[in-house]
Chain A
Amino acid sequence: MLEITDLVKDFPLPDRSRLPVLDIPQFSISAAEQVVLIGESGGGKTTLLHCIAGITAPTSGRIGINGLQLTKLSEAGRDRVRAARIGYVFQTFNLLPGFSALENVWLGMSFAGKGHDRNRAVDLLQRVGLSNRLHHKPHALSVGQQQRVAVARALANRPTLLLADEPTANIDPANQQKIIDLIRDCCREEEVAMLMVTHSMQIAEQFDRVERLEEINRVHPDEAAQGDQE
C-alpha cells in the first residue's frame, strides 16, 4: 500500500551546498500493517513522514500510495491525497485551539471535500473515550485527551495510512501505553496501515515490525555532518 523507491531528500543550505538527509532505496508497508520506525535524533524520521504525507516534496525518487504516484502530483494534488488517504498525528499541538473536540474532528473531514459526517465524528470520539467531552475546547482537555482527539481526527476520513510522529512523547508514562493501544486498536478496526515514529524501545518492542531508519537509509547523521563540512 505504501511503496517507496530510490527516495532522496536533501535540504539546501545557506552556503548553497546541500544537506543530504534521506536516501532510501526501498521501503514499503502493506495494507493494514503496523510498523514502528526508530532512529537517532536528527536522522530524518520526521522528514520521511513529511515526504510520505506529501507535505514536503522529495528531491527525487518515487512514493506510491495505493498505486498512486505521489511524486508525480502537484502540491495541490498531494494535498488532496493527504486529505483523503492519510491521517497524521503529531507530537504536540495537534488541535486547533478555537475549535471544540467535535469541530476538530469535523475539520479533518472538511478539507477532503466530503462534508461533515456528524455521526462518524461522534462515534470516533466515543471510540477514543471522549463521548462526554465533545464540546470542550482543547484548553479544557488534558494533553492525553487532546492526543486522543487527534487520533480520532486522523481517522475521520477513513484513511488508508496513519502517520504518527512520536505521539506519546509529551504524555506521562502511565498514559503512554493507553494511547499506543488506542491507536493500534483503532487502526486494526478500521484496517488502516500505520507508521509510527518513537524513541521508546518499550513501545517499539510491542510491534511485529520494527524499522531502524539507519538501516533503510543510506545517509547517516555523521555523514550528513561531513556533508555539512564539504
Chain B
Amino acid sequence: MNLFYIAWRNIQQRGLASVLTMLSMALGVTLVILVLSISWIITESFARNSNVGYNLIVGAKGGPLQLTLNTVFYLSKPIEVLPYEDYLELLPGSGRAEEIARIGGRIAEPEREGKYSLYMSGGFAIPVCLGDYLGPFRVVGTKPEFFEQLKYGEKGDLDYEFKTGRNFLDYSDENGYFEAVLGAHVAREMDKQVGDTFKTTHGDPEGEGHGQEFTVVGVLAPTGTPNDRAAFINLEGFYLMEGHSRVFEDLANPDEDKSEVAPRDIDQPPRLSLEKRDVTAVLVKPGRGLFAMQMQQSIKKSLRAQAASPIEEIGTLFNNFVNPVKYTLLGLTIVVCVVSAICILVSIYNSMNERRRDIAVMRALGARRDVVLLIVLFESMMIALGGGLIGWVFGHALAKLCSPLVEERTGIQLGFLNSITSVELLLVPGLILLATLAGIIPAVVAYRTNVSQHLSS
C-alpha cells in the first residue's frame, strides 16, 4: 500500500470535511481564473487599441486625452472642430490641390502643396467628423480610405474586413453620397443589414433627427476595437445634411486673398463647398514615423490645431486607470490564494487532534517519522490538486459561458483555453504549491507526535 493510497484513504475518512476543503480551494481557484480573465480582457481590449494604425490625431486645441477619447474610443464630450483647410494642409504631395479641384470652393492659393506635404509623402491623412448618432452609437463621417488605409490589431497588421457587403464609396450611382458601413456590434444591436437604410440624429442620441437617409452597403467583421460600436457614413453625405455646414464661411482665414475654384466633376450632384466644411479630427500617418514628433511640435505652434499622439494618450490612460485596476485585481487574487491555503491548513490541522492516535498506531507499525509527515503532506497536496483542478476547469467553463457576452461588448473571444494567461500558469500552480505547503504545519504535528503517549492514553 503506497503512501498516496494511505493519504487518499485519510481524505476519504474525513469525508465531508475534505469535500468542503476541496470546494473552498476550488472556489479560490475559480475566483483567481475569473479575476485573471477580467484583467486579461481589460489588457487585451486596450492592447488591441494601442495600435490604431496612425501616429497622430490632429484636432482643435484642447486636451489631447479628450481628443483621443473622442476619436479612438468615440467617448467623452464633443469637441471643437477645425476648418477643412487645415485638413488639406496635411495631405501628401499634390493631394491638397487635387482635393480642392475635386470639391470646389473659395480658398487661397488653390495650387500649392499642403504645408506638411513633405512629411506626409508616403503617409495618409483621413478626416473624421463626429457629432451624429445612430441610436446610442456614434456616427463617424469619414472617407473610404478609413477602411483602406487603417489597420488594427495589437501588431497593427490586420485589415478591416467586411462580414457582408463592401466599403462605402465617395460617390455611387445608386446611392449618391449617402452610403454607410456599420460596425459589427451596431449592425447587430440596431438590426440593420446591407441594403437597409437609416437616418442619424444630431448632437446626441436623443437629438433632433436628420431627414437624410443613408444606405448600409457593408457590415464590418468584429474587430474588438471601438469601431465595432460605430456607424460610418460618407463624409460627403455628412456635409450635405442640414446643420453640418459652417454658417460663417470665411471664419477660418478671413485675411487671406481667396479665389473661387469650381468643382471638376460636373456630372455629379454638387458637394458642400470647401469653406463651409469642418472636421472633428484628422487621423495622420506621416511618411515616416520619425516625422510624427516634428509634426506634432509644429502643429502645436499653430493657432487652432493640436496634435495628439494616440499611443501616448492610451498609454497614459492605461497607466492611470487600467493598471491600478489590474494590480488591485491581482492583489485580490493573491489574497484569495492565501485564504485558500489557510483553509487547507485549518482543515487538516483541526483533524490532527483526532488523528494523533492513528498516527501513533502507524508509527507503532513501523512507520518512520518522515513517512507520517509525507502522508499528511500528500493529503494536503491531493486536496490542493483536486480542488485546484476542479476550480480551474470550473473557472474556465464559467469564463467560456460568459464569452458571448464579453465578445459582444469587447469583441474579445474567451475560449475555454485561449484565455489562459501566463500569470495563471504561474499563479494556479503557485496556489497549489502554497496549499501543499500549508500542509507542512499539520505534517510537522504528525512528525512530532509522541507515540508512546498517544498509544497508552
Contacts and interface: CB of A to CB of B under 8 A. Distances in A.
Interface stretch (B8-16, B154-162, B205-213, B341-349): B8-16
A80 B368 contact: yes
Contacts of A199: none
B302 interface: no
Contact of A97 (B2, B13, B371): B13
Interface stretch (B240-248, B354-362, B385-393, B438-446): B354-362
Given A93-B357, A97-B13, A98-B13, A55 B369 contact: no
A88 B364 contact: yes
Given A50-B452, A50-B455, A76-B368, A110 B357 contact: no
Contacts of A75: 368-369
Interface string B350-386: 0000000110011111111111000000000000000
Contacts of B35: none
Residue with the highest number of chain B CB atoms closer than 10 Å, among A84, A98, A153? A98
Contacts, number: 78
Contacts of B363: 55, 79
B9 A103 contact: yes
A90 B6 CA distance: 21
A28 B118 CA distance: 110
A98 B359 CA distance: 12
A107 B452 contact: no
A43 interface: no
Contacts of A83: 365-367
Contacts of A106: 1
Interface string B431-457: 000000000000000000001100110
A53 interface: yes
A109 B9 CA distance: 16
Interface in A128-172: 153, 157
Interface string A40-56: 00000011001001011
20 contacts: A46-B452, A46-B456, A47-B452, A50-B456, A55-B455, A76-B369, A79-B366, A80-B368, A83-B365, A96-B358, A96-B362, A97-B358, A99-B9, A106-B1, A108-B365, A109-B1, A111-B367, A111-B371, A116-B1, A153-B365
Contacts of B368: 75-76, 79-80, 111
A82 interface: yes
A112 interface: yes
A82 B1 CA distance: 18
A62 B367 CA distance: 23
Interface residues of A, number: 34
Contact of B6 (A76, A86, A107): A107
Interface in A56-94: 56, 75-76, 79-80, 82-84, 86, 88, 90, 93-94
Contacts of A93: 357, 361
Contacts of A108: 365
A182 B193 CA distance: 90
Given A55-B451, A110-B1, A110-B2, A98 B362 contact: no
Contacts of A90: 361, 364, 455
A63 to B, nearest CB: 15
B1 A107 contact: yes
Which of B10, B362, B366: most chain A Cβ within 10 A?
A: B366
Contacts of B1: 103, 106-107, 109-110, 116
A213 to B, nearest CB: 15
A162 to B, nearest CB: 13
A112 B366 contact: yes
Given A93-B361, A111-B366, 10 more contacts: A50-B455, A55-B451, A82-B364, A83-B367, A94-B361, A99-B9, A103-B9, A107-B6, A108-B365, A111-B368
A184 to B, nearest CB: 21
A118 to B, nearest CB: 11
A72 B363 CA distance: 19
B418 to A, nearest CB: 42
What 7 pairs across the A-B complex have the smallest Cβ distances? Answer: A83-B366, A98-B13, A111-B366, A110-B1, A79-B368, A111-B367, A82-B366
Nearest to A81: B366
A111 B362 contact: yes
Chain A CB within 10 Å, residue with most, of B6, B362, B369, B370: B6
A47 B455 CA distance: 11
Contacts of A97: 13, 358
Contact of A55 (B10, B358, B364): B364
Interface string B263-291: 00000000000000000000000000000
A80 B366 contact: yes
Given A97-B13, A98-B10, A98-B12, A84 B455 contact: no
Contacts of B451: 50, 55-56
A98 B379 CA distance: 14
A14 to B, nearest CB: 15
A99 to B, nearest CB: 6
A138 to B, nearest CB: 11
Contacts of B367: 79, 83, 111
Interface centre among B1, B2, B369 (most CB of A within 10 A): B1
A97 B411 CA distance: 56
B366 A98 contact: no
Contact of A111 (B13, B365, B456): B365
Contacts of B2: 110
Contacts of B6: 107, 110
B364 A53 contact: yes
A129 B319 CA distance: 76
A54 B361 CA distance: 14
Nearest to A96: B358
